[in-house]
Protein backbone atom coordinates (compact mmCIF):
# COMPACT_ATOMS: atom_id res chain seq x y z
CA UNK A 1 0.00 0.00 0.00
CA UNK A 2 2.82 2.40 0.83
CA UNK A 3 4.28 1.94 -2.63
CA UNK A 4 1.08 3.08 -4.37
CA UNK A 5 -0.25 5.57 -1.84
CA UNK A 6 -0.41 9.31 -2.27
CA UNK A 7 -1.61 9.50 1.35
CA UNK A 8 0.88 9.04 4.17
CA UNK A 9 -0.37 6.53 6.72
CA UNK A 10 0.69 4.55 9.76
CA UNK A 11 -0.29 1.33 11.49
CA UNK A 12 -1.85 2.15 14.85
CA UNK A 13 -2.61 -1.24 16.32
CA UNK A 14 -2.77 -4.92 15.38
CA UNK A 15 -2.81 -7.50 18.19
CA UNK A 16 -4.64 -6.46 21.36
CA UNK A 17 -4.87 -7.90 24.83
CA UNK A 18 -8.24 -8.56 26.42
CA UNK A 19 -7.47 -5.74 28.88
CA UNK A 20 -6.84 -3.28 26.02
CA UNK A 21 -10.04 -4.36 24.28
CA UNK A 22 -12.03 -3.87 27.51
CA UNK A 23 -10.54 -0.38 27.79
CA UNK A 24 -11.60 0.50 24.22
CA UNK A 25 -15.13 -0.82 24.81
CA UNK A 26 -15.39 1.22 28.03
CA UNK A 27 -14.26 4.34 26.12
CA UNK A 28 -16.78 3.70 23.33
CA UNK A 29 -14.00 3.26 20.76
CA UNK A 30 -15.11 -0.35 20.20
CA UNK A 31 -18.45 -2.08 20.56
CA UNK A 32 -17.37 -5.69 21.03
CA UNK A 33 -15.24 -8.05 23.04
CA UNK A 34 -15.12 -10.28 19.96
CA UNK A 35 -12.72 -7.99 18.10
CA UNK A 36 -10.64 -9.39 15.27
CA UNK A 37 -7.70 -7.62 16.98
CA UNK A 38 -7.80 -10.23 19.75
CA UNK A 39 -5.63 -13.28 19.16
CA UNK A 40 -7.23 -16.28 17.51
CA UNK A 41 -6.44 -19.88 18.45
CA UNK A 42 -3.19 -19.50 16.55
CA UNK A 43 -2.26 -16.40 18.58
CA UNK A 44 -2.62 -14.07 15.59
CA UNK A 45 -4.84 -11.05 15.06
CA UNK A 46 -7.15 -10.81 12.05
CA UNK A 47 -7.36 -6.99 12.05
CA UNK A 48 -5.24 -3.88 11.81
CA UNK A 49 -5.93 -0.22 12.45
CA UNK A 50 -4.40 2.09 9.84
CA UNK A 51 -4.61 5.88 10.01
CA UNK A 52 -3.77 8.58 7.50
CA UNK A 53 -1.13 11.09 8.49
CA UNK A 54 -1.39 14.83 7.93
CA UNK A 55 1.42 17.18 8.83
CA UNK A 56 3.30 14.30 10.44
CA UNK A 57 0.45 13.47 12.82
CA UNK A 58 -2.34 10.89 12.83
CA UNK A 59 -5.51 12.37 11.37
CA UNK A 60 -9.06 11.42 12.38
CA UNK A 61 -10.47 13.44 9.47
CA UNK A 62 -12.92 11.21 7.53
CA UNK A 63 -12.13 12.67 4.08
CA UNK A 64 -8.58 11.35 4.44
CA UNK A 65 -9.90 7.86 5.32
CA UNK A 66 -12.05 7.96 2.19
CA UNK A 67 -8.95 8.83 0.15
CA UNK A 68 -6.90 6.08 1.80
CA UNK A 69 -9.50 3.30 1.60
CA UNK A 70 -9.31 2.65 -2.16
CA UNK A 71 -5.52 2.51 -1.92
CA UNK A 72 -5.60 -0.13 0.84
CA UNK A 73 -8.28 -2.09 -1.05
CA UNK A 74 -6.22 -2.00 -4.25
CA UNK A 75 -3.05 -3.10 -2.48
CA UNK A 76 -4.89 -6.03 -0.88
CA UNK A 77 -6.43 -7.01 -4.22
CA UNK A 78 -3.01 -6.82 -5.88
CA UNK A 79 -1.67 -9.47 -3.51
CA UNK A 80 -4.87 -11.52 -3.40
CA UNK A 81 -5.83 -10.83 0.21
CA UNK A 82 -9.56 -10.35 0.91
CA UNK A 83 -10.23 -7.50 3.35
CA UNK A 84 -13.12 -5.63 4.89
CA UNK A 85 -13.03 -1.96 5.87
CA UNK A 86 -14.77 -0.68 8.99
CA UNK A 87 -15.64 2.48 7.04
CA UNK A 88 -17.97 0.38 4.87
CA UNK A 89 -19.97 -0.89 7.83
CA UNK A 90 -23.58 0.29 8.10
CA UNK A 91 -23.40 1.04 11.80
CA UNK A 92 -20.48 2.08 13.98
CA UNK A 93 -18.28 3.12 11.08
CA UNK A 94 -14.65 2.56 12.01
CA UNK A 95 -12.33 4.39 9.61
CA UNK A 96 -9.00 2.98 10.80
CA UNK A 97 -10.22 -0.65 11.01
CA UNK A 98 -9.33 -3.29 8.42
CA UNK A 99 -9.94 -6.99 8.91
CA UNK A 100 -9.75 -10.34 7.22
CA UNK A 101 -13.29 -11.63 6.54
CA UNK A 102 -14.73 -14.30 8.83
CA UNK A 103 -15.71 -16.42 5.81
CA UNK A 104 -12.12 -16.76 4.60
CA UNK A 105 -10.22 -16.34 7.88
CA UNK A 106 -12.24 -17.78 10.79
Dump pLDDT digits (tens) for 23-71.
Answer: 999 999 899 999 999 999 999 999 999 999 999 999 999 999 999 999 9
Burial of 18 (0-12, 13-18, 19+ CB in 10 A): exposed
Dump pLDDT digits (tens) for 3-26.
Answer: 999 999 999 999 999 999 999 999
| pTM attached to this predicted model | 0.92
Amino acid sequence: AAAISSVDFTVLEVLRTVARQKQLVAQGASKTMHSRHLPGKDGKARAVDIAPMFGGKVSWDWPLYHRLAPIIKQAAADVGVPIEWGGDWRSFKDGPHWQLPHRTHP
